[in-house]
Each structure stands twice: as structure tokens, then as C-alpha cells.
Amino acid sequence: MKGGIVSMLYAVLALKECGVDLDGKVTLLLVPDEETGGARGSALLAEQGILGRNGVGMLLAEPTSGVVWNANRGAISLRVRVFGKSAHAGLQHQGENAFERMVYVAERLQELKREVEQRTTRPNIGAGQARNSILMLGGQSGGGTNFNVVPETCWFTVDRRVNPEENLADEKARLIEVLNACQRQGIALEWEVLQEGDSAAYPEEDTAGQALARAIQEVTGAQARFELCPGLLEARFYAAQGVPSYAYGPGLLAVAHGPHEYVDLRRVIECASIYALTVMSVL
């Protein structure tokens, strides 16, 4: 993201130094908390009514690997904690095994997983990506105190990624119903929501999308390709307010968050030009 921020700063500087006369205003907004739901960033600004106000378009500087993301999946992520009763392994009959109960809960969620992952999405997707809806179990998990003690508590995470054609509230309710059903069967458990965000999609044909596409072709010589982002995007906060929102930035998604993350400086310069030309076209 730092590479994209540099591109946007220099795009604004270029517009000022070239004396471009704009019929409108460019706002550069830098927020924290994007990776964990945005509650302390974009969501807070949206609650205060100052996010994307009167906006005619929004560009997000994600490392998009040379494509434009005009859609993103939604997400609902949970931590599920299952309870039992501790006892020594030699007296395990006096305990209640939270791990075994957790396995049962996970099996019920796997039944839901098999059903939801039959669904597919219509937008373009990148190479190596899948059209299927997503339900991932056990991204994190833990529990117990020792190998010879019946575990009193075990926990695991659930990460549900919702395609734009699906309804987040409905899919969240289906997840919760599985957990409620386990409770009704006598399994003591609780859950907390780690993140929640809706899907979003904007057509390629919108004015802002076409302005971005023309700028990409002018600077790079290649035709812009629009795709679904495999994850959650801050663009959803703007889309919720009817602001056409697109992500395009320097850097490769394949190396993002890795130990050898890098951004090619030539792409930073290209993106600065693309952002500036997009602003000039729209305004």
C-alpha cells in the first residue's frame, strides 16, 4: 500500500504543478485498520458522514497486479469457542472433551461448506483463482492445557467469503444457525465476530471506470482488464454510498504480506500518471 500511496501523492503533486483546472476536488484519504474490518478507519469516517461525500468516483491503491478490481467478495469471520470440563487423562470419564465437541461442530460447518462452495460468481476472475464461494475453517485454532488433560476449552476460526451475488446477512444467519443447532444439541459454545464486510461491484462502463481504463491504455499501451478482487476491499464503504469505486495500484498481490514484498518503482511512476490522467478525464 505504501507504493500506491506514493503514486497518489505524486499524482496530486503533478496536477498542482501542471496547473490543471479541475471542475471538482480531489481528496486523498489515508486510513488505518483496512486488514481487520476498518472499524477504526473507513467505517468510522462513514459513521461520521465524511467518507466519499458528494464523490463522483473513488480509486483505491491496492497492489492489483496490473488489473482493475471493480468487484470484491464480502466477508464474515468468526472465532468459535467450545467448552467442556477438565479432568486427568486417567479419569477422562469424569471430564467433557471440548476438542471432541469442537470436531463435531466443525463437521456440521463442513456440511455447510460443501453446499456453499457449489456456488459460483459471474465477474471476471484472475488466473489461479476460483469462482466458487468460500468457507474456510481453522485458519487459527487452539485449546487445552497439556497432553494428559481433558481439554476444557478449544477454539477455531471460520472465514466465510461471500460472492457479490450472495447476501451477507443471509449467509451470516446460516452460519449462526449451524452454531445454534449445535447448542440445542447440548454443546456449550460461544462465538465472536472478528470482521464483517459486504461485497461490492461496479460496472466497467461507469464514467470513472472508463476514465481509468483509458488512462491505463494511454500509459501502459495495454487494454485494461476488470476482475473480481479475491478478498475484501475498502471500496465497499464507498459503494454503499453509491460512489463508483475501483482498485488499481502498483505491486503484485502474489508477494503482498510476504517476507520479500516489493514494488517496482517503474509501476509506481506509471500509476501516478494513470491516477492523474483519470482525475483529468473525470473532472
Question: What local confidence, expressed as pLDDT, does residue 128 receive?
Answer: 84
Q: Report residue 105 as a C-alpha cell.
A: 461442530
Q: Is the pLDDT of residue 33 over 90?
A: no
At residue 186, does pLDDT exceed 90? Answer: yes
Q: Is the dihedral of CA 194, 197, 199, 202 positive or negative?
A: negative
Per-residue model confidence as pLDDT tens digits over 109-163: 999 999 999 999 999 998 888 999 999 999 999 999 999 999 999 999 999 999 9
Is the confidence at residue 268, as pLDDT, over 80? yes
CATH superfamily of 2-72+199-282: Zn peptidases (3.40.630.10)
pTM above the 0.85 mark?
Answer: yes
Output the pLDDT for position 139: 96
| Cα distance between residue 273 and residue 15, in whole Å | 10
Please give the Cα distance from 203 to 274 (Å, whole number).
19
H-only helix segments in 33-146: 42-47, 98-116
Angle at 238 between CA 235 and CA 239, to 5 degrees: 80
Query: What confidence category does residue 218 fall into, taking pLDDT thresholds of 50, 70 and 90?
Result: very high
- 3-class SS of residue 142: strand
pLDDT given for residue 131 in this prediction: 94
Mean pLDDT of 178-204: 95
Q: CA-to-CA distance for 95 and 68, rounded, in angstroms?
A: 55
**70 with 226: CB under 8 angstroms?**
yes
CB 75 within 8 A of CB 200: no
Domain boundaries in the chain?
Answer: 2-72+199-282, 74-197
Mean residue pLDDT of the chain comes to: 94
Determine the pLDDT at residue 107.
98
The pLDDT, as a whole number, for residue 4 is 95
Give the integer Cα–Cα distance in Å for 209 and 231: 20
Cell numbers placing 73: 467478495
**Tens digits of residue pLDDT in 83-112:** 999 999 999 999 999 999 999 999 999 999
CA 57-63-64 angle, to 5 degrees, is: 70
**Which stretch of 230-234, 247-251, 271-275 has the lowest confidence by average pLDDT?**
230-234
Torsion of CA 8, 13, 14, 19, to 10 degrees: 140
Contact in structure between 248 and 274 (CB atoms under 8 Å): yes
Percent of the chain whose predicted confidence (pLDDT) is above 70: 100
pLDDT over threshold 80, residue 175: yes
Name the residue type at position 239. Answer: A
Residues 45-80 pLDDT 10s: 999 998 988 899 999 999 999 999 999 999 999 999
CATH, range 74-197: 3.30.70.360
Mean pLDDT, residues 11-40 taken together: 92
- One-letter amino acid of 78: L
- Over residues 256-278, the mean pLDDT reads 95
pLDDT score at 1 = 84
Residue 35 has pLDDT above 80, yes or no: no
Has residue 5 got a pLDDT over 80? yes
